[in-house]
Amino acid sequence: MNQKQVRVSEQALVPQILLARGNRTIENVVSVFLGVMVLSVLAQIAIPLPWTPVPVTGQTFGVAFMSLLWGRRRGLAVVLSYIALGAFGLPVFALGKSGFMFGPTMGYLVGMVVASYWMGLLSDWGWTKTFFRSYLAAASGSLITFCFGALVLSTFVPSGTWFIAGVLPFIPGDIIKTLVASYLAYQTQKKMTVTN
């Protein structure tokens, strides 16, 4: 596969920049490191809710924003690295938590992994070139995260309460987060696209 074919399959902004600069390993590592740092900081923006073990956090905003700009491979690398750091004891998860075990919020973390690949794939296909498609990509990623999160949460909360505990209170904030993430990704892509 030649360089032009690679660029067509990776239309997200960060891969474009890295490919234009020679796609050096060190720059790829730095891009993933920066993504992990941003996601770790955003995760600390957290609001606990008294009726559910799942807090409102900046994680989903960070996953959407980075996946739309980093693309499928690098976005996935960011989220997997972030989860690995938390699993190994660094306090990078919401509310400074760490550790990775089967608990009420594990499904959301797994969902973020799947969602990051999906949103990054859509970005690599050029979906961040319009705001509407960028928003659809981010919204579909949120839906994926909610599905995984609610599925696991349903094993920890009383029967029939999973929607109230794991989905409903997060919808208004998620609409705002996906709008902002997709708008910022679209505007950034528009202003900084590497010309071929």
Model confidence pLDDT, tens digit, residues 83-133 = 999 999 999 988 888 887 788 889 999 999 999 999 999 999 999 999 999
Residue 63 to residue 59: CA distance in whole angstroms:
6
- Supply the pLDDT for residue 1: 45
Domain enclosing residue 72, as ranges: 3-192
Structure tokens at 176: 């705002």
Residue 36 to residue 38: CA distance in whole angstroms:
5
Task: List the single range of 7-11, 78-82, 145-149, 153-157 with lowest mean pLDDT.
Answer: 7-11
Residue 136 clears pLDDT 70, i.e. is over it: yes
Do 149 and 107 form a contact (C-beta atoms < 8 A)? yes
- Supply the pLDDT for residue 88: 92
In total, how many domains does the chain have?
A: 1
- Supply the pLDDT for residue 2: 47
Alpha helices in 104-170 (DSSP H): 106-124, 131-153, 162-166
Q: How many residues does the chain have?
A: 196
Angstrom CA distances, 153 to 79, 86, 103, stand at 20, 19, 8
**What are the pLDDT digits (tens) for 30-70?**
999 999 999 999 999 988 888 788 888 899 999 999 999 99
CATH number of residue 60's parent domain: 1.10.1760.20
Q: Which residue from 152, 68, 150 is spatially nearest to 116, judged by alpha carbons? A: 68
Q: Point out which residues pair with 149 in neighbouring strands.
A: none
Residue 81 clears pLDDT 80, i.e. is over it: yes
